[in-house]
Amino acid sequence: MAGITNAPFRLLARRQGAALVVSEMVSAAGLCQGVVRTRQLLAGGPEERPLAVQLFGARPEWMARAAALAEEAGADLIDLNMGCPVRKVVRHGAGAALLKDFGLTLRIVKAVRQSIRVPLTVKTRLGWEPGGETILDLGPRLGEAGADGLVLHARYAVQGFSGRADWEMIGRLVERFPGPVIGNGDVGRPEQVVEMLERTGCSGVMIGRAALGNPWIFGQALARLEGRTPDPVSLQERRAMALTHAAMLSDHVGTGRAVFMLRSVLMWYTRGLRGSAAFRGRINQVGDYATLMDMVEGYFDRLEAESAEELEAGVG
């Protein structure tokens, strides 16, 4: 979710019911070297609280220093990324690459634990690859090293996002780790939140890709947990949320950068709607924010008019 879970995205998730939001991955090296843009990733407003800052890196001393800087900047929780399989992260020995070296992994956790007072979690995977050591071997040792909780994406690093997440392993980790375990992987619908909690006994569920263009999933999941059937999202609600997200992103990064970032954002909000492929093709050619917003308004105007005509024809 790097490049995605910026402040606007997090705020919308919180407003829809997310209990905890997490920053974009923050480079420990960047923080320690004083990179301004990296430091800006730590910023969070009061409405986002509690806010977790996720760090990545492979040097215990830098991870410890970066964690202290993040806590100083206001982080309510520090999360260590030991599960990202992206090549540019792994080739530097960070992210999921740490699952190849449990000794280094434990040294990092110990160093970070000694440098901060706020809770410490580790986001990880089942292991590097099937057949090797797994999180069932590492998990208890992470607790001894100072991790207060674990977030488990139930795939191996080499799988990326392919195959199926092994929820059974989440349940087995719950039995072995002394603190809370948060489950992650293949939760795309609100009812699957309930299913994961019931099947694994985990303390919570992390939702990532399923929230792209769908911040309602958090409130819908809460409704399911309360035994209620959530209301479907209307076309008008989708339009309003897309425009709100666009305005917040513009305020956050400026209209110039927002135009290019919104190409992905608007793709999420219009996925599956009539004429969305053609719409996305058109907005990819636009470089002016005001023009882009006019196109969004026009697109939803047409959809609402067509829906009204179909409804009238059906009634008739």
Residues annotated as part of the active site: 84
Nearest to 304 by CA among 235, 232, 231, 237: 235
CA distances from 246 to 213, 218, 257, 293, 310 (A): 11, 20, 11, 8, 29
Go through the chain and tell me how many residues it has: 316
Chain Cα centroid distance, residue 222: 18
Alpha helices by DSSP H, the chain = 7-15, 28-32, 36-40, 60-72, 87-90, 102-115, 135-145, 167-176, 190-200, 216-225, 235-253, 255-270, 276-283, 289-315
Dihedral of alpha carbons 282, 283, 284, 290, sign: positive
Residue 244 CB coordination number (10 Å): 15
Q: Helix/strand/coil (H, E, C) string of 187-220?
A: CCCHHHHHHHHHHHCCCEECCCHHHCCCCHHHHH
8 Å CB contact between 173 and 150: yes
Dihedral of alpha carbons 230, 236, 237, 239, sign: positive
Alpha helices by DSSP H, 45-147 = 60-72, 87-90, 102-115, 135-145
CA distances from 167 to 139, 173, 195, 205, 303 (A): 16, 10, 10, 12, 39
In the three-class reduction of DSSP (H, G, I as helix; E, B as strand; rest coil), residue 23 is classed as: strand
